[in-house]
Amino acid sequence: MVSPAPSSFFSASAQGIALVAIAGVLWGTSGTAQYLGAAGLSPFWVGAAQLAVAAAFLGLSLLWARRGSTGSLVLRPRQAGLRLSSFFWASLGIGGYSVFFYAGLQMAGVGVGTAVAIGSSPIWAGLLQAVVLRAPLSPLWWLGTLVSVAGGVAMVMGEGGSSQVSWPGLALCLLAGLSYAGYALVNKRLVSHMSPKVVNFYVFSGAALLALPVAALYAGMPQWSLSAVLVVVYLGAVVSGIAHLLFSMGLRHISGPTGVALSLIEPVAAFVLAVWIVGEHQPWVAWVGLAAVLLGLWVVVKAEMRS
Instruction: Tell me what pLDDT residue 2 has.
Output: 44
Instruction: Tell me what pLDDT residue 1 has.
Output: 40
- Could you give the C-alpha distances from 105 to 23, 51, 136, 174, 257, in angstroms and in order? 22, 18, 31, 11, 24
Instruction: Tell me what pLDDT residue 202 has.
Output: 93
pLDDT above 70 as % of the chain: 86
**Which tens digit of pLDDT belongs to each residue from 239-277?**
999 999 999 999 998 989 999 999 888 878 877 777 777
Angle at which helices 196-219 and 167-191 cross, to 10°: 160
Residue 3 has pLDDT above 50, yes or no: no
Instruction: Tell me what pLDDT residue 58 has.
Output: 93
Instruction: Tell me what pLDDT residue 73 has.
Output: 67
Domain ranges of the chain: 14-62+78-306
For residues 65 and 67, give the distance between their C-alpha atoms in angstroms, rounded to a whole number. 5
Residue 133's CB: how many other CB atoms inside 10 A?
Answer: 13
pLDDT above 90 as % of the chain: 36
Instruction: Tell me what pLDDT residue 154 has.
Output: 82
Residue 92 has pLDDT above 90, yes or no: yes
Residue 86 has pLDDT above 60, yes or no: yes
For residues 98 and 43, give the distance between their C-alpha atoms in angstroms, rounded to a whole number. 9
For residues 7 and 297, give the distance between their C-alpha atoms in angstroms, rounded to a whole number. 22
- CB within 8 Å of 223: residues ≥ 6 apart: 40, 41, 42
For residues 172 and 212, give the distance between their C-alpha atoms in angstroms, rounded to a whole number. 18
Of 179-193, 195-209, 253-267, give the lowest mean pLDDT range. Answer: 253-267
- Structure pTM? 0.84
For residues 298 and 307, give the distance between their C-alpha atoms in angstroms, rounded to a whole number. 14
Instruction: Tell me what pLDDT residue 174 has.
Output: 92
Q: With bands split at pLDDT 50, 70 and 90, how would you rate the model's confidence at 227? A: confident
What are the φ and ψ backbone dihedral angles of 141, each rounded to 5 degrees?
Answer: -65, -45
Q: With bands split at pLDDT 50, 70 and 90, how would you rate the model's confidence at 188? A: very high
Residue 90 has pLDDT above 70, yes or no: yes
